[in-house]
Amino acid sequence: MRPTELIRTASFRIALFYAALFLASVLVIFAVIYLATAGDIARQLSSSVEEDLTALKAEYQFGGLDNVVAGILSRMHATQGRTAYYLLQTPDGRLLAGNAGPLPPKAGWTDFLAATSGAPGAKGRVMAKAVVLPDGSYLLVGRDATRLDELEHRIIQAFLWGSVATLILAGFGAVLMSMVSLRRVEAITRATEEIMSGNLARRIPDAGGRDEFGRLAMQVNLMLDRIEALMNGLKQVSSDIAHDLKTPMTRLRHGLELTRHKADSVEAYQAAVDRAIAECDLTLRSFDALLRIAQIEAGTRRSGFRPVDLPGLVETILEAYQPVAEESGHLLTAAVAEGTVVRGDQDLLTQMLANLVENALKHTPAGTRIAVMVTPDNDRWTLCVADNGPGVSADERDNLFQRFYRTEAGRAAPGSGLGLSLVAAVAQLHDAPIEISDNEPGLKICVSFAAAE
């Protein structure tokens, strides 16, 4: 794993972004600390200087320079000249009183160096404010700012060390996150390369977590399961098409070959053409059914879903197949709950129910009772087509929805074996579970639809 690959990962960039965010947070925290400590001390010092200077100016108002000199001496004695600084000098620069002398006259706030309460012989900063008295004398009051400067230095030093530690930890976290994510991405990449090379059984490794990579692996694996099933179905369909369409094409060719050698009249040729057309029609119907199933499985018909009235749909199918049932000796009945509305494609649902009824009519003997039922099941509606015919063995039921599959008993009946495959495709399009069960006797096929809102 090269360093350049780590740097180019999205997780590394995200980690750097968070490092910058944390650094900004550290800056805000230390700014708050500074305002709460050093700023407060600076305000106290400036307030003390202002009050002392105001008091000395008041003393000058009442007693002149002599009163100011006495006030300065009294204050110096009280502080022993360790934290407070005073200066009173004449306009020509002669020192009258104080321990901070002499200085160039400059009114307002000023800083200067002087021997403070720190280490012996060391000089520290004094924060002072000066005024020029009415007689031209220069008066200055200051306070030792050594403690304030030391606190500021410590805060700045702590900020720098905190920033360095933040950047180091963020860099370490960025590299660690990049290595973890890159390792998982490489595992996904290797799996996809195997899949693209043709190994459809390969799956994305899942570490068992519920993070974004785990959810992605789960969804991709579900997609791969679906693709593998579709590809296997495609292979099976190709094999079934080649197998099941070979028979009618062989019959067609054999009939044409036989006609070419043995037909001796126009009527014989016409009969051969009629048989060839019938075989072609059967083949075309099989292809139409396959195309219709493919269109349904593609899901393009979902956009046309509308509320569908199941009682009306059942009534339509019964009207269409009642004459056929009577002619073949079957009894076709219906029992439908009122107010049954589902959301779906009405044409496809009609085709599905028609296939179920037609399948029951085709594969049951005369005298069989066929019932179409719609019953409520919690918040769903279940559509069932049941008969009391010979039924289907349990080991064959799971194969009934496969394309071109036909039971041994049903091979003699006309058809292509795609009717129930279309039923399964329509049910899947509508997210409707389909179930085959024993009707004791007979066969029962039920499709469960969600009730329309």
If 0-12 CB within 10 Å is exposed, 13-18 middle and 19+ buried, where does residue 197 land?
exposed
What does pTM read for this prediction? 0.48
> Is 122 part of a structural domain of the chain?
yes
Is the distance from CB of 138 to CB of 88 less than 8 angstroms? yes
> Is 378 part of a structural domain of the chain?
yes
319 lies in the same domain as 251: no
416 lies in the same domain as 365: yes
Is the distance from CB of 113 to CB of 122 less than 8 angstroms? no
Residue 235 pLDDT greater than 60, yes or no: yes
Instruction: Identify which of 68-72, 129-133, 194-198 has the greatest average pLDDT.
Output: 129-133
93 lies in the same domain as 136: yes
The whole-angstrom separation of Cα 309 and Cα 313 is: 6
441 lies in the same domain as 314: yes
116 lies in the same domain as 256: no
Read off φ and ψ for residue 4, nearest 5 degrees.
Answer: -65, -30
Mean pLDDT of 393-413: 66
- The model's pLDDT over 99-124, given as tens digits with 9 standing for 90+, comes to 887 788 888 888 888 776 655 666 78
Domain that holds residue 424: 302-450
> Is 319 part of a structural domain of the chain?
yes
326 lies in the same domain as 428: yes
Looking at 100, 117, 151, the residue that finishes a domain is: 151
259 lies in the same domain as 375: no
Read off φ and ψ for residue 407, nearest 5 degrees.
Answer: -70, 165
406 lies in the same domain as 312: yes
Looking at 264, 296, 328, the residue that finishes a domain is: 296
Query: Residue 360 sits in a domain of what CATH number?
Result: 3.30.565.10
Mean pLDDT of 48-59: 88
Residue 38 — pLDDT band, cuts 50, 70, 90?
confident
Residue 417 pLDDT greater than 70, yes or no: no
- The model's pLDDT over 288-335, given as tens digits with 9 standing for 90+, comes to 666 666 666 665 666 678 888 888 888 888 888 888 888 888 988 888
Instruction: Identify which of 158-162, 192-196, 443-447 has the greatest average pLDDT.
Output: 443-447
Structure confidence at residue 216 (pLDDT): 77
Domain count along the chain: 3
Looking at 151, 177, 211, the residue that finishes a domain is: 151
Residue 237 pLDDT greater than 70, yes or no: no
